[in-house]
Chain A
Amino acid sequence: MVGEIGTLLLGISLAISLYAAYAAWRGIQLSAVPASSARSRTWLQSAQNAVYMQAALLGAALLILLVAFLSDHFEISYVAQHSSMVIPVYLKISAVWAGQEGSLLLWCFLQALFAALATGCASERARSLVPWTTVFLSLITAFFVAVTLFLSHPFTLLSQPPLDGRGLNPLLRHPGMIFHPPALYVGYVGLAIPFAFAMAALITRRIEGWTAAIRTWTLIAWLGLGLGLLLGMRWAYDVLGWGGYWGWDPVENAGLLPWFTTTALLHGAVMQEEKRGFHVWNMLMVIFSFALVLFGTFATRSGMIQSVHAYTVSNLGGYFLTAIVVTLGGSLALLYARRAALKDSSPIVEGLLSRDGMFFLTLALFTTLTVSVLVGSLLPTLTEVFSGQRFEAGPAWFDRVTGPQFAVLILIIGLCPLLGRGVAALQRLRRLRWVVIGGAMTVPVAAGLTGFTDVFSLIGFAISGFAGAATLAEFVEGVMTRRKRTDEAPLNALWQLLRLQRRKYGGYLVHLGVILMALGIIGTRMYPFEMQITLNAGQSTAVKGYTLIFEELKTAFIADYNATWANVSVYRGDTYLTTLQPQLNRYTGDQTVTMPALLPGLHEDLYLILSGWTGDGTSATFKVIVNMLVNFLWLGGLIFLAGGGLALWPRMEHRTWNVVAFSVGLALLFGAGWAMWGMPHGSVDYGDGRPLVGQEAPDFRLSLLDGGTTSLKDLRGQIAVVNFWASWCPSCVEEMPALQDVWEMYEDKGVTFLGITYQDDVSTVRSALTQYGTTYPVGLDTGDRITDRYGITGIPETFIVDADGRVAHVHVGPIAAEALVTQLEALLK
């Protein structure tokens, strides 16, 4: 029943989309005749209502799919394939867009919703463009609804519904996956709005005002793409366990390409609004942004581009290819027909070394970047056509081609505010020269001193430092100028600046974020470190200034997977940092998911992956990855989003709304920051960490069960065997007879045994001691005081402390009598 309703809703919304396009077109036709203007208005109003209706219907269809997931309607094939009864509710929600059919439905809904908002809330200036915009947007919606309905139907019913679904792909079981696809789709879908407005502007020849009409939508789409890409990067870093965040995969590139052209468009629109030309260029960027969205969808779903990450080959390719050809052909022909109206009215007045020149170069570079990445994604096809052999562009290819282009862009970020406008620019340049030279020197010197010595990376650091100093100077100068006028406190002045000039300072914040990200990208891409090591339990190894000790392997069965994790203690020199727990989950059906553990730091992240182990867990293989400066990338990403959000936020008259919006924005940023740096990411601190062999054993005073107290200091001159155990722990009591035997052997040879119980109570300990005949002194560690100081990760653990009070041996897990004897004999010699 649910499935049938969904199908019905999709069918009706397709009809309504087509009707909306027709009604708007009819209204436009009638408006040309003065006599029929009333009828024209009726048609246009009807079209508008139809646009609202299609958004409501598609919203209902999406809601129905959501209900089908939440209430386990496995008779719907899509639900059966992407959900199961056991997965938690938040995953059932994200499962709605986990596959092609559902994600297309989400796409349709967002498309219709944006169309309704864009046409319904168009500003006064954009009103005249709305009828044609409605035609284009409704046709685009109709296309996507038709594709969903006929080719990739989410409500297909199974004749024999299974009892349970196949479950959600474990890799997608991550909270970030709730937000990543919708954010990206907001970007993709949002780009249809500027496109439709641009086409309307071309048809009606109202060229000047259209960039203002689309500003908000361009920013929304741009920010959505940026957020989606960043979330995807972080998801890859947290979940996929290959240590990286960006692999230049065609699917990733599909999101990056429209982001490039939209960034170019945002800059070009500024120029156009300042009446400085760039008309044709902006039109081209709008058209290509939309075409690239279609291309991305086509490329990742048609199988034309080889990618292991792509959706499986589906029959959508041909339809999307047709859509791309129609879009590009139609819009470029229209552009050509209107070339006279687009002719720049303002001639170029300034030289290349000016604000205009920098904007021109920015647009040029984003265009070449787009072409470069497009060529890279298509390289196998292109080289086959030209040379008969297929070449594939790997990450090295992309890094090499795009790296210099990004570097020049960062340079321009720094140059642009310095150059400013007109004659004043020169004075400004003179005033700020030491600031920017200082920035260009400080960053590479600081980097050089902390171990970054590659010449190209130092050039990159210098450029970043230069651009960072120039951008920060903008903030400082803005605050100073304002204070001269208003006498506000510095922070207040900064706040007012951000509040009143959102676009300008939002833009500069974005630039700062990009500069920080550049530092992270230079660090991770130019100083990669990765090695594979196999360690036996208890064995330590030195890697990049860290000492890693593989303590033990643990395993547990959780829900529908088998989790195995390793405890790896991390020390820098003698100082305990943390214990990392890289994990590998094996799901029923043999799919595995690695859960890397990471120790974040400003200079680098230590990133540990458990890649394999021997059957009994005595040895394990790890991949150790050190990601240099990667946190600058994430921090820059947050600042980037903050700046974009600031630029996007509309001017609200109500103070309350501004405060609410500001608080929500801040809370989201803090939430993201907390998710990245506040959450443990597989890192657990066990008290002060286990003392290393050779280190002084931490002193403690322990009340013994048979009265009296003892401390480790009192035992100086003797060898002390300190055993941590509990009466409730089976493997602890298992080793007790062995301990007692050895104790009896060495009692008179200067060896003391000491049992310390962990989270236990007196009566059960006493009965255990009686049961196993233990006679050496035992005391209770109340409040985990001692276990914390010894960094106990699990009991039993045994420490042997030599006569000088230093740790001579550590054993994790039950110890055998023979092993203990060997150690003691060696010490007694």
Chain B
Amino acid sequence: MQNKTSFIVAGLLVVGAMIYLIVSSTGSTAQYFLTVEEILAMDDEAMQRNITVSGAVLGETIVYDALAPRVTFTILNVPADPQEVERRGGLARVLHDAVQDPIGARLEVVYNGVKPDLLQNEAQAIVRGKMAMDGRLYADEVLLKCPSRYEEEIPTQVDD
């Protein structure tokens, strides 16, 4: 009986430790995953955290300084919900519509690094970084996805 109890206690400890790790890590290292509209509606406190945002790249706004190297560009709001995306005719369509929308929510992104080659008009950008006082998002990482070139993306990991 005593043995059984020790097994149960050990099991509970393991599960408890896992729950603690998940909850505390979510508090400290998880990032907000937002749309452009949501970022613009955020309060100041939330601005302090690392955020991840997905949006459509507006090609004409891409400015690249090769010497720094630094690239700035504007992304436009696209819905985060995949079902919503499907309803509006697929990702390529949603991205295309987003950059045509003159009044869509937009956000300027600054990325200190070499211009990723997939950074082009109507690409989907997933940007990780922090908001600054100037209202721009300073990105640590820019991931891009172009639905037009290859019908399917790569089956495993592709970072920039």
List residues of A whose CB falls within 8 A of some B CB. Answer: 81, 98-100, 103, 166, 169, 171-172, 180-181, 232, 235-236, 240, 242, 244, 247, 249, 251-252, 300, 302-304, 306, 308-313, 348-352, 357, 360-361, 364-365, 368, 371-372, 375-376, 379-380, 383, 389-394, 396-397, 400-401, 404-405, 532, 534, 586, 589-592, 611-612, 614, 619, 621
**Chain A residues in 8 Å Cβ range of B29:** 393-394, 396-397, 400
Contact residues in B for A364 (Cβ distance below 8 Å): 10-11, 14-15
A232 to B50, CA, bound (A): 29
Residue of B nearest to A314 (CB): B152
**A residues within 8 A CB of B144?**
308
Sample (9) of A-B pairs whose CB atoms are under 8 Å apart: A169-B154, A232-B156, A232-B157, A249-B157, A308-B158, A360-B11, A372-B22, A397-B29, A621-B114
Partner of B153, one of A309, A365, A371: A309
B contact residues, total (Cβ < 8 Å): 59
Residue in contact with B157 in the complex, picked from A247, A361, A372, A589, CB distance below 8 Å: A247
Which residues of B have CB within 8 Å of A235?
Answer: 156
Residue B115 is within 8 A (CB to CB) of chain A in the complex: yes
Contact A172 B154 (CB under 8 A): yes
Interface contact A308-B126, CB-CB below 8 Å: yes
Query: Nearest CB to that of B115 among chain A residues?
Result: A612
Task: Knowing A361-B10, A612-B114 are in contact, say whether A310-B157 is a contact too (CB < 8 A).
Answer: no
Min CB distance A79 to B, Å, is 12
Known contacts A251-B155, A401-B22, A614-B67; A313 and B91 CB within 8 A of each other: yes
Q: Which of B90, B91, B118, B150 has the most CB of A within 10 A?
A: B150
Q: Which residues of the other chain, B, contact A244 by a CB distance below 8 angstroms?
A: 159
Interface of B is mostly: mixed
A352 — nearest CB in chain B belongs to which residue? B6
Of B11, B66, B155, which is in contact with the most chain A CB atoms at under 10 Å from its CB?
B155
Is there contact, CB below 8 Å, between A251 and B157? yes
Of the candidates B7, B91, B113, B157, the one whose C-beta lies within 8 Å of that of A357 is B7
Q: Whole-angstrom distance between the alpha carbons of A306 and B153 in the complex? A: 13
Interface residues as binary, B10-53 with A (CB distance below 8 Å gives 1, 0 otherwise): 11001101100110011011111110000000000000001010
Nearest residue (CB) in A for B34 is A390
Q: For residue A743, give the distance in angstroms from its CB to the closest CB of chain B.
A: 37
Bound state CA distance, A302 and B17, in angstroms? Answer: 32
Output the nearest chain A residue to B30 by Cβ-Cβ distance. Answer: A391
Instruction: Tell me which residues across on chain A come within 8 A of B145, comparing CB atoms.
Output: 308
Task: Point out which of A249, A361, A368, A532 has the most chain B C-beta atoms below 10 A from its C-beta.
Answer: A368
Contacting residues, chain B, for A350 (C-beta < 8 A): 3
A195 to B5, CA, bound (A): 31
Check B157 against A311 for contact (C-beta < 8 Å). no
With contacts A392-B33, A590-B117, A612-B115 known, is A311 near B158, CB below 8 A? no
Query: Given that A252-B156, A313-B91 are known contacts, is A391 also in contact with B31, CB under 8 Å in the complex?
Result: yes
Give bound CA distance, A144 to B54, whole Å: 33
Instruction: Tell me if A303 and B159 are in contact (CB < 8 A).
Output: no
Asked if residues A404 and B17 are in contact (CB atoms below 8 Å), the reply is yes
Q: Contact string, B132-160, partner A, CB cutoff 8 A, digits 1/0?
A: 00000000000111010111111111111
**Whole-angstrom CA separation of A534 from B65 in the bound complex:** 13
Q: Given A249-B156, A309-B154, A394-B29, 14 other A-B contacts at CB below 8 A?
A: A100-B152, A247-B159, A303-B86, A308-B153, A309-B153, A348-B4, A348-B7, A400-B21, A400-B28, A405-B18, A589-B149, A590-B117, A614-B66, A619-B67
Return the chain B residue nearest A371 by Cβ.
B18
State whether A372 touches B151 (Cβ < 8 A).
no
B90-118 at interface with A (beta carbon < 8 Å): 90-91, 113-115, 117-118
Contacts of B62 in A (CB 8 A): none
Task: Say whether B153 contacts A242, CB under 8 Å.
Answer: no
Q: Does B80 contact A (CB under 8 A)?
A: yes
Establish whether residues B26 and A383, one from each chain, have CB atoms under 8 Å apart when the complex forms.
Answer: yes
Asked if residues A591 and B54 are in contact (CB atoms below 8 Å), the reply is no
Q: Which residue of A lies closest to B141 (CB)?
A: A394
Given contacts A394-B29, A400-B29, contact A591 B117 (CB under 8 A): yes
Across the interface, which residues of B come within 8 angstroms of A393, CB to CB?
Answer: 25-26, 29-30
Taking a contact as CB atoms under 8 Å apart, the answer to whether B118 and A591 are in contact is yes
Q: For residue B92, which residue of chain A has the nearest CB?
A: A312
With a CB–CB cut-off of 8 A, which chain A residues contact B150? 81, 166, 169
- Chain A positions within 8 Å of B15 at CB level: 364, 368
| Interchain CB contact under 8 A, B25 and A400 | yes
Say yes or no: A99 contacts B152, CB within 8 Å.
yes
B14–A361 contact, CB under 8 A?
A: yes
With contact pairs A100-B152, A590-B117 given, residues A621 and B69 touching in the complex (Cβ less than 8 Å): yes
Give which listed residue, A312, A380, A534, A619, contacts B91 with CB less than 8 A: A312
A751 to B77, CA, bound (A): 68
Assembly CA distance A33 to B46 (angstroms):
70
Give the docked Cα–Cα distance between A350 and B144 (Å). 55
Contact of B113 (CB < 8 Å), options: A375, A390, A532 = A532
Write the chain A residue with the least CB distance to B144: A308
Q: How far is the CB of A155 from chain B (nearest CB, A)?
A: 16
Residue numbers in A under 8 Å from B31 (CB-CB): 391-392, 394
| CB atoms of B18 and A99 under 8 A apart | no
Q: Is B3 in contact with A309, judged by CB distance below 8 angstroms? A: no
Would B156 and A180 count as touching, CB distance under 8 A? yes
Known contacts A357-B10, A390-B32, A313 near B86 by CB under 8 Å: yes
Would A397 and B17 count as touching, CB distance under 8 A? Answer: no
With A306-B33, A591-B149 known as contacts, the answer to whether A611 contacts B113 (CB < 8 A) is yes
> Which single residue of chain B is at the shortest CB-CB distance from A532?
B113
In Å, the complex CA distance between A103 and B26 comes to 35
Q: Are B10 and A311 in contact (CB under 8 A)?
A: no
The one of B14, B33, B114 in contact with A611, judged by C-beta atoms closer than 8 angstroms, is B114
Report which of A300, A351, A365, A404 forms a contact with B3, defined as CB distance below 8 A.
A351
Contact call A311/B66, Cβ cutoff below 8 A: no
Q: Which residues of B are found within 8 Å of A352, using beta-carbon distances? A: 3, 6-7, 10
Neighbouring B residues of A397 by C-beta, 8 Å: 25-26, 29-30
Set of chain A residues within 8 Å of B14, measured between Cβ atoms: 361, 364-365, 368
Please report the C-alpha to C-alpha distance between residue A621 and residue B67 in the assembled complex, in whole angstroms.
9
Q: Chain A contacts of B33 at CB under 8 A? A: 306, 380, 390-392
Q: Pick the contact of A309 from B6, B85, B157 — CB < 8 Å?
A: B157
Q: How far is the CB of B65 from chain A (nearest CB, A)?
A: 11
Most B-side CB within 10 Å, residue of A360, A361, A376, A391? A391
**Are A401 and B21 CB-contacts (below 8 A) given A392-B52, A614-B66, A621-B114?**
yes
Q: Which chain B positions have C-beta within 8 A of A310?
A: 153
Q: Is the CB of A401 within 8 A of B25?
A: yes
A48 to B121, CA, bound (A): 56
- What distance in Å separates the Cβ of A550 from its nearest Cβ neighbour in chain B? 15
Q: Which residue of B lies closest to A353 (CB)?
A: B6
User: B115 — which chain A residues lie within 8 A by C-beta?
Assistant: 612
Known contacts: A401-B25, A612-B69, A612-B115. The answer to whether A392 contacts B152 by CB under 8 A is no
Q: Determine the residue in chain A with the shortest Cβ distance to B117.
A: A592
A-chain residues with CB within 8 Å of residue B120 when the two chains form the complex? 590
